[in-house]
Amino acid sequence: MAKQDLIAELGRFLPPASILTEDEDLKPYETDGLTAYRQTPMLVVIPETEEQVGQILKTCHRAGVPLVARGAGTGLSGGALPLADGVLMSMARFSRILHLDPLGRAARVQPGVRNLAISEAAAPHGLYYAPDPSSQIACTIGGNVAENSGGVHCLKYGLTVHNILKLCALTISGEAIEIGSEGLDSAGYDLLALLTGSEGMLAVFTEVTVKLLPKPERAQVVMAGFADIEHAGAAVGDLIAAGIVPAGLEIMDRLAIQAAEAFVHAGYPLDAEAILLCELDGTNEEVSEEIGRVREILTAGGAVSLRTAQDEAERLRLWAGRKAAFPAVGRISPDYYCMDGTIPRGKLPWVLNRIKEMSREYGLRVANVFHAGDGNLHPLILYDANAPGELERAEAFGGKILELCVRAGGAITGEHGVGVEKINQMCVQFNPKELALFHGVKEAWDGARLLNPGKAVPTVHRCAEFGAAHVHGGKTKFPDLPRF
């Protein structure tokens, strides 16, 4: 359908202010958090009611026009990257918390509600929404569900998929469906699991019911310094083997420590090769008991320094360094490229060593800052886009790291999604038959392939063509947000 005809069709049910067609209005939508990829959409629609969303979907479906849904656009894999011949649908106006049930511990919210806004609304009841991506002041719950986002507290409290109860969604043909239930059981297949992490390719969410948890009585963090990163990695396994499930368990290596300390003066030991931050939460008694055990285990595991935050201010200061690690690294290098692979925890020392070797081979520095408890690595490859060949080297290096993760028995993405960024590495992770099944799942929802086409699942043909790792980095788009 010609652009003008589509605009006319949409204009039947959308006010003019909800349809953007001019280049300067489209510009802000041309990229998400992965800014290396840019594409101006044919047009942008900003619906306000579920009915309008349904009509937009029906119109696109009838006209055979592809559609990409967008939350806050903080995604780091290009999931919300528009299509030149497609409609970009912003869910920004769906920003209301519809119902909060303190006794039943659930909140029903619109998809454009910011992650942190849910916890803020629940706070007066002593409750919160657990998954805490570091973009939580900006990212939306709709985007969180589409990416199955995580945060520092995943190890104990799970990912988005573990913390949502129910979804209302519209299919590409505009049909409304309700999935899941506050009652925990749900008849038929577990479509809640299938839609979580579906990267906007199966259906558009119009309402999300999330689980709220009681705020722990107390949280306390222990910081351990190590003389080498292998010992820090091994200590993670020791803690878990001792039956401790920390709320957060993070490692930073020397380069990251130096950069963060120079930036926020968190009080990190500058002579350490690695630090481990271990947060414990729970009842007062539980935390007291576990802090003692954690200190013993870390000492036995070769920690050369140990510090327990004595008050909330010190706890927040120790975390501030961790949360500012990405921008801190941004201060010591013109550019960096953030990876997101996961590995079995036991392989940490081996993989970190291999990354060190590859760092020498590629002649590029790497800072390691990661969710050690989950085995979710975020190696930051430092490069200078203005130095000839460095971007390409960083990309090749990044691709190799992801392939290394797969070889170690892990995955190419732990929380940022595949999007357009890691679509080639999908060919490393899955064989053609598995990819064909993913396409079958897509077809079950969206036979015409109009919802976010070309993302997340490569065609078998593309995989056949994919020779070398080819992944792209991006300059930071949200420099003021803390990063994990």
Ligand X SMILES: Cc1cc2nc3c(=O)[nH]c(=O)nc-3n(C[C@H](O)[C@H](O)[C@H](O)COP(=O)(O)OP(=O)(O)OC[C@H]3O[C@@H](n4cnc5c(N)ncnc54)[C@H](O)[C@@H]3O)c2cc1C
Given 2, 12, 22, 189, the residue binding another protein (CB under 8 A):
189
Give Cβ neighbours of residue 116 (< 8 Å, ≥ 6 apart): 136, 137
Q: Are 13 and 55 in contact (CB under 8 A)?
A: yes
If we measure between CA atoms, which residue out of 96, 19, 78 comes closest to residue 52? Answer: 19
Q: Give yes or no for residue 424 binding ligand X (CB under 6 A).
A: no
Residue 200 binds to ligand X (criterion: CB under 6 A):
yes
> What is the tally of helices (H) and strands (E) in the chain?
17, 18
Q: Which of residues 377-396 bind another protein (CB under 8 A)?
A: none
Contact call for residue 344 and another protein (CB under 8 A): yes
Q: Which is nearer to ligand X, 133 or 225 (CB)?
A: 133
Q: What's the angle, vertex CA 138, arms to CA 137 and CA 142, rounded to 5?
A: 115
DSSP structural state of residue 376: B
Say which entry of another protein, ligand X, none residue 79 contacts (CB below 5 to 8 A, set by partner kind): ligand X
Distance CA 151, CA 141 (A): 13
When asked if residue 258 is in the footprint of ligand X (CB under 6 A), the reply is: no
Task: Please give the order of strands across the beta sheet that includes 164-170.
Answer: 97-101, 106-109, 204-211, 164-170, 176-180
Verify binding: residue 245, another protein, rule CB under 8 A: yes
Selected range binding ligand X among 131-139, 209-217, 289-297, 360-368, rule: CB under 6 A: 131-139
CB atoms closer than 10 angstroms to residue 431: 11
Rounded CA separation 426/448 (Å): 22
78 phi, psi to nearest 5 deg: 80, 20
Q: Helix or strand or coil: residue 463?
A: helix
Number of other CB atoms surrounding residue 433 within 10 Å = 8
Is 376 a binder of another protein (CB under 8 A)? yes
Query: Which one of 234-242, 269-277, 310-318, 390-398 is the stretch in contact with another protein (CB under 8 A)?
Result: 234-242
The reply on whether position 422 binds another protein by CB under 8 A is: yes
- Report d(CA 441, CA 55) in Å as an integer: 24
Q: Please, what is the minimum distance in Å from the beta carbon of residue 207 to ligand X?
A: 9
d(CA 232, CA 303): 8
CB of 204 to ligand X, least distance (A): 4
**Where would I find the H helices in 375-459?**
390-407, 426-429, 432-445
| 69 near ligand X, rule: CB under 6 A | yes
Q: Does 184 bind another protein (CB under 8 A)?
A: yes
Q: Which of residues 96-115 bind another protein (CB under 8 A)?
A: 101-106
- Site residue total, another protein (CB under 8 A): 98
174 binds ligand X (CB under 6 A): no
Burial of 240 (0-12, 13-18, 19+ CB in 10 A): middle
DSSP-assigned letter for residue 11: H
* Stretch binding another protein (CB under 8 A), from 52-60, 256-264, 353-361, 418-426: 418-426
CA atoms of 113 and 108, how far apart (whole Å): 10
Q: Hey, which residues does 306 pair with through a beta bridge?
A: 224
By a kind-dependent CB cut-off of 5 to 8 A, residue 2 interacts, out of another protein, ligand X, none, with none
* Minimum distance from residue 72 beta carbon to ligand X (Å): 4
Of 14, 26, 147, 264, which lies in the binding site for ligand X, with binding defined by CB under 6 A?
147
Instruction: For residue 84, state whether it binds another protein (rule: CB under 8 A).
Output: no
Please report whether residue 217 would count as binding another protein according to CB under 8 A: yes
Nearest partner of 417 among 196, 110, 140, judged by Cα: 196
Please work out the total of residues on this chain that contact ligand X, with binding judged by CB under 6 A.
Answer: 39
Least distance between another protein and beta carbon 101 (Å): 7
Q: Which does 68 bind (CB under 5 to 8 A by kind): another protein, ligand X, none?
A: ligand X
The only residue of 43, 121, 146, 168 in contact with ligand X, by rule CB under 6 A:
146
| Residue 374 binding another protein, by CB under 8 A | yes
Shortest approach of another protein to residue 433 CB, angstroms? 5
Q: Which residues lie near ligand X (CB under 6 A)?
A: 32-33, 68-76, 79-80, 91, 111, 133-135, 139-140, 142-144, 146-147, 149-151, 199-200, 204-205, 415-416, 452, 478, 481, 483-484
